Structure 1
Amino acid sequence: MNNGRDHRIDFFRGLALIFIFWDHIPGNPLANVTVRNFGFSDAAEIFVFLAGYASVLAYGKIALRDGWLVASVRILRRAWVLYIVHIFLLVLLMGIVFVANNHVETRDMIQEMGLYYFLGNPQQALVDELLLRFKPNLMDPLPLYILLLLGLPLVLPLLLRKAEYVVGLSVALYLLAPMFQWNLAAQEGGVWFFNPMAWQLLFILGGAVAINAQRDKPVETRPLHHQPLFCVSAAYVLVCAVIALSWRWPAVHDAMMPRLLSEWLYPISKTNLSPARLLHFLALAYCTAKLLPTGAWVQSWLARQSCRMGRYSLEVFCFGVLLAPLADMANALGGDVWPVQVLTALAGVGLMVLLAVWLDVNKRLGRPVQVTA
């Protein structure tokens, strides 16, 4: 595996973090421009896929250089850090929501965030938190990421040598999970919103793509419209966009959708990563990779800010989780008018960028100075 860094990965991780933040602010007008409005998948797929890509890229290099044991220890140490972060993040989130709810009269933020379970069953909620079973709104991606990382050492050696075998097993688990209703338990007898038995496929596919990207391959020279896979993918993305946009006008949607297609397509499960969602994301990712090759565009000022957020995705994601209820509170106090909603959404992104800048500067200052003769 070579050391070349694809800055597009950092860019789209940063963009996914912005979309997640905007989607988590109730009534936010800018949420109308996120990827979920133009297809069946959303920023969650981007986040998980690129998490798999970045994890296998990073720990795969360690495994090849220092051995599987060293890589496994690094992975488990990272998972432990994420676990501690998850606990403290939940405590901070609950504190913010409980305080904010006392200042907001137009809505029940505790209900919006799914925190009444903690108020009614504090002892059991604390136990469930430690077991990753208590996941209020906004908190679902982090426990999923922790679990996927814990499973990475089991598949990493085979993934580095025979990625197609791991992908095959992953596809089998993905197909069997909804068939046999495999999922993990959550609070109050529920199950995980992001079923790890299904979402592991995106993580594994991200890792397989990372490995494949490091290999020397012949460059496709045919124009895009002469590449069958691109044409099929682009057509599917366009059809999904038309269907998703029609949801805004139910009468139009009912008129244009054949009954048999509706019965096959709906419901589009996010919990079990419906095949329609999975195929939409893969088609969208493939088209994006083809249409936006690595180039000067990632060096523009705006792209560099997104890349910077993507490099510190854990810290920025956690910060965004805390900013979302604060933005919601500010919107409520401002009368829920659209100028205030747009301002809080943009201000939140600005603060996320500033955090990434601070982390970047802090990291550079921490590097030892190399003195050359």
Structure 2
Amino acid sequence: MRTTVCHIITKLELGGAQKTTLFTVQQLDRTRFTPILITGEPGLLDEQARALEDVEFHQVPCLVRAIRLWKDVQALLALTRLLKKLKPVIVHTHSSKAGILGRWAAWLARVPIIIHTVHGFGITSEQPWWLRRLLIGAEWLTGLITTHWLAVSLADIDSGIRWGLFRGGNITLIRPGIDIASFHRLFPSSDRDRLREELGVEPGHLLVGTVSCLKPQKAPHDFVDVAAHVCACMPAARFVLVGDGELRAGVEAHIRSSKLEGRVTIVGWRRDIPALMRAFDVFLLTSHWEGLPQVLLEARASGLPVVATKTGGASETVNDGYNGWLCAVGDVKGLAARVLGILLDVDERTRFSRNAGDIPSEFLNLTALRKREALYDTLLERSGRGVWDGTHGGHALGFDGRTE
């Protein structure tokens, strides 16, 4: 019998949590698991999710990222009805809103095993104290009905322990994992030159790039401010921001007011990220909070020197001073100084690039997937609801969840 595993995520945009979720439901061992994917408000990757083979896809549009009390109640009821119909054995939630509402819906639907992955807590020092207390309280209360937690970084585990979220060691570190082969692939220099020309980069220019959603978490305004400092000292520097989002209009206005047109470019979302990475000379990430930024691993796999803010699991992906530099959150001048130093020092740029590509196996997507599957097996065995014995149909019956 195959165990039905239902993944729930708030929005399928181009982000680390979304890529991990899609990879998991696509690659789960079909001899052991039947995957279902539920998402909320429309996202860029919805059509890709619908096209996945052997993955049942459902959308609950009232599940939205922002806190909207009436919509949140609607989403909870809709998710509960859907889960009662689907009867999964395991519900595995991702992202803050889907994590709270999805777990309570699973509990109301009497799902036997409830798992949540922390891809970075949506609780930051920039929020009012009362909101932080409210969100921590919501996570703590929801933790009481959570069978097991996963975290993508040690930093998130430390935060969860500090807030008292975990019980009896029900937390496991499993990295998100990247498709390293696509970033290790060699690109002809002619393709690199063509991409740089497309991005408005001329011979003799040095290109600093980032890939991120234009939302407060990623602090794109800091990216523009760093560009302003660097370009004032180095006219040959160019910056490109690959991504889109709610802050785009404001960031474009910021670029104009800083007189950086032609030096800082927003190209929107692109699917050729591995190729674009090869067109960069330095990768810059200005996030104010993170779980474990997969994009830093992708930059490293592309052989790029990295400059990033020291937030979440960034220090678990970048070895400060070895393959990049880490600066305090919001330290625009510090970030600019590190970027400028790499651009001006060919030896440092070459050394960081040489040290960048050695990615530990724990950060590979297949390694992470096998760990998730092993965790599912362990939780099934502990619950008495099924044990995988290494053969087809190895799960025992004796529980209410859906099997095939």
**Higher strand residue share:** 2
TM range (shorter): under 0.3
Normalised to the residue count of structure 2, the TM-score between the two structures is 0.25
Structure with more of its chain in helix, by fraction: 1
